[in-house]
Amino acid sequence: MTETSKNVPEARERYVLRLYIAGSTPRSQIAIKNIRKICLEELQGRYDMEIIDIYQQPTLAKGEQIVAAPTLIKMLPLPLRKLVGDMSDKEKVLIGLDIKKVEENKRETEK
Task: Report pLDDT digits (tens) over 31-85.
Answer: 999 999 999 999 999 999 999 999 999 999 999 999 999 999 999 999 999 999 9
In this predicted structure, the answer to whether residue 6 has a pLDDT above a threshold of 90 is: no
Q: Where are the beta strands (DSSP E) in 5-86?
A: 15-21, 47-53, 71-76, 81-84
Of 47, 29, 28, give the one whose Cα is nearest residue 38.
47
What is the CA 39 to chain-centroid distance, rounded? 8
Domains of the chain in start order, with CATH, are 2-110 (3.40.30.10)
Report phi then psi at 7, rounded to 5.
55, 60
